C-alpha cells in the first residue's frame, strides 16, 4: 500500500508543505545569498512552490474547523515563501534598488 504523501491524487498537507519549504531552501542556495546573483534557474523553485501552494489550497475544507484554520495558516506561509522566491528572482535584475547606501 502506497503512502498518501506519494499518491498525487490524494490531498496531502505534508507533501504540500515539504514542496514549498524545500523549494524555498533550494532558491536560497541557487540565489547565492548574501551575494544574490541573477539566475534564471529560480523559475523552477518558484513553479514548485506555486504547485505546493495549490496542493495546500486543495486541503481546505468547506466548513470551518481548527484544521481549516491551520491550513489557512499554511496557505499564508506558502504565499510568503512564494513572495521571497519571487523577490530573489527579480531583485538582482534591478540594480537601482539598493539597500546599501
Q: Break the chain into its structural domains and give their ranges.
A: 13-93
Q: Which of 41, 73, 45 is nearest to 57 (CA)?
A: 73
Among 9-18, 34-43, 45-54, the minimum mean pLDDT is found in 34-43
pLDDT at 1 (0 to 100)? 44
Average pLDDT of the chain to the nearest whole number: 88
| DSSP-based three-state secondary structure for 69 | helix
Rounded percentage of the chain residues whose pLDDT exceeds 70: 89
How far is CA 12 from its chain centroid? Answer: 15
Q: Specify the pLDDT at position 2.
A: 60
pLDDT for 93 equals: 79
Q: Could you tell me the pLDDT band of residue 32, with boundaries at 50, 70 and 90?
A: confident
pLDDT of residue 79: 97
**Residue 16 pLDDT:** 94
**Cα 55 from Cα 13, distance rounded (Å):** 7
Grid cell digits, residue 4: 498518501
- Let me know the angle formed at the C-alpha of 25 by 24 and 28, rounded to the nearest 5 degrees: 90
**pLDDT of 8 above 90:** no
State the pTM of this model: 0.86
Amino acid at each position: 500500500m502506497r503512502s498518501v504523501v506519494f499518491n498525487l491524487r490524494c490531498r496531502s498537507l505534508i507533501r504540500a508543505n515539504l514542496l514549498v519549504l524545500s523549494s524555498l531552501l533550494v532558491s536560497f542556495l541557487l540565489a547565492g545569498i548574501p551575494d544574490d546573483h541573477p539566475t534564471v534557474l529560480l523559475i523552477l523553485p518558484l513553479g514548485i512552490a506555486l504547485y505546493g501552494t495549490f496542493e495546500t489550497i486543495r486541503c481546505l475544507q468547506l466548513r470551518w474547523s481548527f484544521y481549516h484554520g491551520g491550513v489557512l495558516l499554511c496557505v499564508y506561509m506558502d504565499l510568503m515563501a512564494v513572495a521571497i522566491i519571487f523577490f530573489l528572482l527579480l531583485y538582482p535584475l534591478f540594480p537601482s534598488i539598493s539597500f546599501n547606501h
